[in-house]
Structure 1
Amino acid sequence: MLPRPRSVSPAAIGGVVAVVLVVGAVVVSLLLAVAITALSLTVCALVIRSLLASPHR
């Protein structure tokens, strides 16, 4: 005799969906923070290089 499959309550499904959405939002925000940091470091490096390469008056 095969075991009867358990039914999953809609509340459990909603909880899993909420956890997935929260984890996804955290991951996206961390990646966005890394991208913004990399962009700002690039801009700073370009400005410093430009200042160092310019002839002194």
Structure 2
Amino acid sequence: MFHPKMPDAAPVPIAQTLARPAEHHHAPVTTCSCAHAPIASAGRPVAPLIGRGASAVAAVLVIGVVLTALLATVAITAVSVSIAALVLRSLLDSAHKR
């Protein structure tokens, strides 16, 4: 029932689709009589993928900064509470000794 659909043709490596040979203004030379299939493009531009990657990186950075700020806030609050507890304990001990 659930079978993966295999592509009709072998996938073309990305290096071949992105790299373009230097353009020459010579007539094409046909050395063989066999019919070659043209190189198929990926069908989607590369630029939107770069835009998504940049926005994903920005989102990760923002989340990292927010989480770091929250962690620093918790640490500062813990230090403040511990200092307040020490001061209160010192004041209460001195009041009991009098």
Partner of 1:20: 60
Misfit runs of 4+, over 3 Å: 4-8
Structure (1 or 2) with the larger CA radius of gyration: 2
Which runs of no fewer than 5 residues in structure 2 stay unpaired? 1-6, 12-41
1:37 and 2:74 are equivalent in the alignment: no
Q: Shift of the alpha carbon at 1:9? A: 1.4
* Structure with greater proportional helix content: 1
Q: Shift of the alpha carbon at 1:14? A: 0.2
If the length of structure 1 is used for normalisation, what is the TM-score? 0.83
| Count of aligned pairs between the two proteins | 55
Question: How far apart are the structure 1 equivalents of 2:60 and 2:88?
Answer: 42
Give the share of equivalent positions with the same residue, in percent. Answer: 44
Q: Partner letter of residue 60 of structure 2?
A: V
Q: CA RMSD in A?
A: 2.1
Higher relative contact order (CA 8 A, sep 6+): 2
If the length of structure 2 is used for normalisation, what is the TM-score? 0.50
